[in-house]
Amino acid sequence: MRRSCLLLLPLSACIEQETPAPTADDLKIARRDVLSADPSPRFPAGAELEDKLVYLGMDADPPAATPGKPIKLTHYWKVKQPPGEGWKLFVHLGPQKGGYVNADHSPVRGRYPESFWKAGEIIRDQHTVSLPARWPAPQIEVYVGFYKGAQRLRVVKGEQDGQNRVLAAKIPVGASAVPEQKRPRYVARRVTVPIKIDGKLDDPAWQEAPFSDAFVDTMTGAKVEAQTQAKIVWDDTNLYVAFSTDDRDVASSFSRQDDKLWTQDAVELFIDADGDGKDYVELQASPAGVLFDSYLPGHRQNQNDWQSGAKAATQVSGTLNKRGDEDRGFTTELVVPLAAAKGRAEKPLDSPAPGRVWRINLFRMDLDQGKPQRASGWSPPLVGDFHALDRFGDLVFGDAAGSVPAATTVEVVAKPGLVPRLSRPAVPRPAVSSPPAK
């Protein structure tokens, strides 16, 4: 299942994004990318998609890619007939083990959706992607096409892969300069008074708990503009996770549990409690307090009918779903029953105790109006896959003082991916409340 913002998906999947209608100003600005003559792209294609579109080719800047570094791709589409309502373009980058990196986006920086294209137009569509820091091949294969649900426009002319994906270009890839770094470790304090789940982060337990390292770019491990940090505490019954998130445009239109929260603003928690790298659980919360929970018996094998018993609540500093104003961010509290960490697995799960370790990861999805969705994480996977269990960090259960028994040894494996810890005071921000999920 999922998603956007350069993620690894199965070969049959495409992103589903909610695309807002363009404003008059959007359309005016977008006219700069409607060309009057055929371009001369570095990678010409001349591929035809049924009787509707011609993919003329693409440019790449720089002409060679570096793992972990951004590269700008420029695509040129000629419209013979408007593609029609519901049809959207896709961009896939390969080869990748088990799938491809998904670079789907709304064309022309979100200002000129596909349904507004007109016959005779030549559309220039530019977007920037960052190659995963652990890219396995000496080149990038760029594939493009159009999809609607499970359908794709047929490629009737031009080089393709047999799945109606046009091979747009093969871009050479240089060596990666990403340093080896340790995976993160967080020691959760034990509490005796249950946390009040209201999204405010004003309980004494939150004031005493330290913030995690600041989340970083999931693909490169680099610092991100919109900061997110988390705190975790526990008691004999529950795991409590708090997220503090900077966000200038807080929005999520979903209202039902297990909706596609990851396509808009959301925070996420993955738990592989026994650390076996096999089965795990995934939980998400939107800034509206809506919850998504899923059990996965294997990699990406989501069972969304599973109910975790978790609850979420948020506080928005600003106005939820009001485009055009400037928000400050949102805070989220997530309470997860300890017993839910095993999902539907039949094998027993040892009860948490000081010194015990779970493998977890934390993510944040950020979708501002008119911009591509961005992703950050506590332990960046450095590939286009949030479900990379080998990149999860260590959640260590501590005592009330945040100490771990001296006899406990926690192995911290050196792997690429984290920036030095940043801290900030736990001061509640003025907020507008949104109700917890029912």
Q: What is the pLDDT of residue 414?
A: 34
Domain endpoint, select from 112, 144, 172: 172
pLDDT band at 433 (very low <50, low <70, confident <90, very high): very low
Structure tokens at 280: 């795990």
Asked if residue 318 and residue 358 are part of one domain, the reply reads yes
Domain endpoint, select from 172, 205, 230: 172
| Residues in contact with 183: Cβ distance below 8 Å, sequence separation at least 6, in sequence order | 379, 391, 392, 393, 394, 412, 413, 414, 415, 417, 418
Whether the pLDDT of residue 56 is over 60: the answer is yes
Asked if residue 162 and residue 56 are part of one domain, the reply reads yes
Structural domain includes residue 1: no
For 217, the domain range is: 181-434
Structural domain includes residue 247: yes
pLDDT band at 410 (very low <50, low <70, confident <90, very high): very low
Domain endpoint, select from 172, 204, 230: 172
> What stretches of 149-182 adopt beta strand conformation (E)?
151-152, 155-157, 166-172, 181-182
Give the C-alpha separation, 121 to 286, whole Å. 38
Structural domain includes residue 2: no
Burial class (CB in 10 A: 0-12, 13-18, 19+), 349: middle
CATH number at residue 112: 2.60.40.10
The pairing of strands 122-130 and 70-79 is antiparallel
pLDDT band at 342 (very low <50, low <70, confident <90, very high): very high
The answer to whether the CB of 190 falls within 8 A of the CB of 354 is yes
Q: How many domains does the chain have?
A: 2
Give the C-alpha separation, 30 to 22, whole Å. 10
Asked if the bond preceding 3 is cis, omega within 30° of 0, the reply is yes
Structural domain includes residue 337: yes
Give the C-alpha separation, 3 to 6, whole Å. 8
| Residues in contact with 357: Cβ distance below 8 Å, sequence separation at least 6, in sequence order | 275, 394, 395, 396, 397, 410
Q: pLDDT tens, 138-154? A: 899 999 999 999 999 99
206 or 423, which is more confident?
206
pLDDT band at 416 (very low <50, low <70, confident <90, very high): very low
- Single-letter residue type at 399: D
Asked if residue 112 and residue 225 are part of one domain, the reply reads no
Mean pLDDT of the chain: 86
Structural domain includes residue 387: yes
Asked if residue 135 and residue 50 are part of one domain, the reply reads yes
Asked if residue 222 and residue 140 are part of one domain, the reply reads no
Asked if residue 267 and residue 207 are part of one domain, the reply reads yes
CATH number at residue 347: 2.60.40.1190
Whether the pLDDT of residue 21 is over 90: the answer is no
Asked if residue 145 and residue 193 are part of one domain, the reply reads no
Give the C-alpha separation, 243 to 272, whole Å. 19
